[in-house]
Structure 1
C-alpha cells in the first residue's frame, strides 16, 4: 500500500505552527524565531517532507508570486474587462519583481472555492497574496481561508460583515446619472436589461434604476425589467420579447454582451435612436463608437482598478496590521449620439 506523501499542512500541524510559518522557514522570506525554525525543520525531517519541485522553482529567493481569480464566462465580453484588469495588476507587480498566476472561476462558486483551496494547499509554498473578483455567493465562508495570506477584492464587494480590502467602481452613482439623463430628455418608459443581479456591481446598478424612477415619480413597471444570462443570444431574445408586447422610449443595458443583442433588435426593427428610443450601454468597446448613431456608454476603469488592487495588496504585504481600505475608482459616462 502506497504511503501518503506529507504536505505542508502536515508539517504545520506537527510543529504546531501555521502553514505560513512553515513557508517562511522554507523560503527564508520572513523572520522566524530560531526555536520555531528548529521545530519546523525537525517536523519536516520526521515526516520526510520536501517541497515540490514546482513550488521550489516558483518560490525561490528572487521570485514572488500573487494569485488572481477572475470570473469569465465563455460567451461574455466581460472577458475584455477582466483581461484589462489583469493587465493593470501585472503592470504594477512586474515593477517590483512579482509574478502573477491567473485562475478563472467561470462565475461558479464551487470552482472559486476549489481555486482558493488550491492556493491554500499545494500552492501555499509560493503564493504571497491573492486578488479576487468574487462570485455571487462568496462571503464569510471563504473569508475564513484568507488568514494564511492577504487578499484584496476587486470589482465586486464580498458578502462580508467586516471591512476588507476592496477596490470597486461607482456603479450606483454613474448608473443613476446616466438614467437621469434619459429622464431629463422626457423619457419615461425606460427598460432595464441586465445579467444576473447577484453581485454587488449589478445590484447597485439595479438599485440606481429603481431610485431614479422613484425620485421622478415614474411607476416601476416589472414588464420593462429583463434579467437573463450574460450572452448575446439572451439579450437578443429579451429585446424581441420587449418589443413584442411593450413600447418604450429608453433602454439601459448594464451588461455589455446583452447590450449587443439588444442593439441588434433595435437595428432590425429600424427603430430610430435616439429619436424614438434612447440607448445607453455598459463598457466602452470600439464598435460602440463606429455604429450609426454612436452609442453612449458607461466606461469602467478596469486597468486602473487592477493597478489599485495590486498596490493595495503590496501595501498589505508590507504591513499586515494596517486598517482595511475600500477604494472607489470612478466610472465615467462617454456621451455620444444615442442619448
Structure 2
C-alpha cells in the first residue's frame, strides 16, 4: 500500500506548552484515519501542521511524499481541508462559493464548472446551487464545505470535527458521504473527533491522543479487544471493598472510577450471577450493575483514567482560571 502521510516525532510548542509531543504514525492511501481525543488534546494542531497552517517545532512529516516544511505549495495542492469553524461566504450562493474556490486553485473554467455540478450533485445540493448560503442549515453547510474541499481533486482530505454541533440524523447523513468518498474515490481521509461513535463507525484506524501524545493506535476492533473482555460496571458506596473482593483470576482488570468499579472479563453474562452472589456474600451494598461490550470510551478510560467528558471539563476549568488570572 502507498503511504499517504508519514509523520516522525512531530512536535509543536507554544511557549512552554507542548501541544503535540513527538507523535509518529503512517496513514495509507485510501484509509480513513481518526484522531480521537478531548478538546485541547492536540488533534487540530496536528492537522494544522500536516496541512501547512502551522510549522512543526521539531520532527518531520510528508503528505503524498511532499515535505510539509520544504514544499508547502506542493502539499496544499495535494490536500483539501474542511475547518472546524465555518469558512463559507454566507452572502454568496453555493455555486459561487464553489466557483470562487476553484478560481483560487486556477482550475480552467470548463473543468471547474463541470466539477462544481458533479460535486453539488454528490452532496445533494445541486437543486440549491443558486441559493444564498446563509439560508442553509448547519448540515447543508458542512456538505457544501466538503464538496468545496474536493473541487481540485485532492489526494488527501482533512476533516476537523466534521459533524460538530449537528443533530444525529444529519451526522449519520454526513458519515455516509465520508465513507463513500474513501471507498469510491480512494481519497485518504484524516478526521479529528471527540465523538466515540463517529470514530468507531468511520475509521479504519484510530490514534487516541491525550495531552499531545498518542497513547494508543490501532483498528477500533483491536482497541476494544485490548480492554480484555466485556465490561461490568458496579455502582456502590463502598468501591474499595468491591475491588478487594474481585481480585480473582477470572477478572482480567479492575478499575475504580467516580464511585464505580469497572470489571473486565470474558463472557460477562455467564459470570453475572457469580458476581452478584459474591457481592451478597461480602455484604457489599450496590446501587446498580450493568454489562456491556467494550467501547472506545472504555478504551480511553483504561488508558487515561478519565472519560473524554471529564477531560473537556478539566480543560474548561483551566481556561477559566487562566482568564481570571489575566484579569488581575
The answer, yes or no, to whether TM exceeds 0.5 is no
Q: Kindly indicate which of the two structures has a greater share of residues assigned to strand.
A: 2
TM-score, structure 2 length as denominator? 0.29
